[in-house]
Amino acid sequence: MKSFSSTATLFSLTAFFLVAVVSAFPFDDIDLPFDYYSLSCPKLEEIVHNKMEEWVKKDYTLAPALMRLHFHDCVVRGCDASILLDHEGSEKSGKASKTLRGFEVIEDIKREVERVCPRTVSCADILTVVARDATLAVGGPFWMVPYGRKDGTVSYAKEADQLVPMGHEVVTDLLELFQSKGLNVLDLVVLSGAHTIGRTTCESMQYRLYNYNGTRKSDSRLDHLYLNYLERKCRWASEYVDLDAVTPKKFDVQYYKNLQKGMGLLLTDQLLYSDPRTAPIVTALATQPDVFENLFAASMVKLGNIQDYLSVDGEVRLSCASVNSPGY
């Protein structure tokens, strides 16, 4: 028989789920239609799907990399493809962006879209639907993508370095960032579940192994067997390590189970299980894969709807790496 506390947690999660689904489609606040390209570029999703199949078949790690690229884009100036601009001092050149990958995939898809539907589809919309198809490529859920975003014309490295989480923040920092973008505590825990796949450099977490908080010791939260593995794996900062050590190529709830065992790679992950605002959600999701997938889809729609700019300020870039020339 389930305990009262367990039942209450499940009930709360169900309520959260209903709120998330409704708020994932804020028609009154952001009027992004699903049929935006139904006449002007009806083959958009087919093009993206086929291109993504080609790229992920060649390099599976591109799928989580593209999901991460979308997140970095949306938390700085909203989902306006500002992360794709490639010039001195742009977000792409920031410290927070130095391990981002997948830019060549977006440019390849953009060229094909331009061939079929010239001057029509924004890079911001392409990156958003690519994130959806990247999730599908690793076994994650499907969701419908609303369209109509514009490409921004401004991109600053300092903004990316100030806003993008680097893996050492506390939960309060993360919640403040998410709330400033119209997301909530459930979105934080659910979107963190993207770390069920993908990898990071050892540089981002070595301090947890050898000098946590200046103690010259390891972070006591780390499972001792996992710690031994990481000490062998991460002798060099440039080495890569899987975010999920158990099922690194499977989109599942193992990430949350890992947190319960002290196997969260990044501090920002592990703290989700020790903070009272997020720990109950971690516990509930660890045993409910179907709920996780539904919530992940809803939170990704909300993420993709972040707009910190006015549509009149944007454009549809010819190349995702640069703003259009005057008179284009």
Q: Which residues sit opposite 322 in a β-bridge?
A: 319
Find out whether 20 and 182 touch, Cβ atoms under 8 Å.
no
Distance of CA 310 to the CA centre of its chain: 23
Distance of CA 53 to the CA centre of its chain: 20
**Residue 87, annotated ligand binder?**
no
**Residue 172, annotated ligand binder?**
no
**Residue 3, annotated ligand binder?**
no
- Distance from C-alpha of 118 to C-alpha of 110, rounded to nearest angstrom: 10
- Active-site entry in 72, 87, 168, 224: 72
Find out whether 123 and 84 touch, Cβ atoms under 8 Å.
yes
Distance of CA 203 to the CA centre of its chain: 20
Find out whether 145 and 80 touch, Cβ atoms under 8 Å.
no
Using DSSP, state whether 143 is helix, strand or coil.
coil
Using DSSP, state whether 206 is helix, strand or coil.
coil
Find out whether 81 and 73 touch, Cβ atoms under 8 Å.
yes
Identify whether 70 is a catalytic site residue. no
Distance of CA 26 to the CA centre of its chain: 20
| Exposure b/e, 105-119, CB count within 10 A at least 16 = b | bbbebbeebbeebee
- Distance from C-alpha of 131 to C-alpha of 271, rounded to nearest angstrom: 26
**Residue 247, annotated ligand binder?**
yes
Structure tokens, 275: 């903070």
- Distance from C-alpha of 303 to C-alpha of 210, rounded to nearest angstrom: 35
Find out whether 216 and 181 touch, Cβ atoms under 8 Å.
no
**Residue 275, annotated ligand binder?**
no
**Residue 195, annotated ligand binder?**
yes
Nearest to 222 by CA among 253, 265, 180, 169: 265
* Residues contributing to the annotated binding site for heme b: 195
* Residues contributing to the annotated binding site for Ca(2+): 73, 76, 78, 80, 82, 91, 196, 244, 247, 252
> Hey, which residues are catalytic here?
72
* Residues contributing to the annotated binding site: 73, 76, 78, 80, 82, 91, 165, 195-196, 244, 247, 252
* Residues contributing to the annotated binding site for substrate: 165
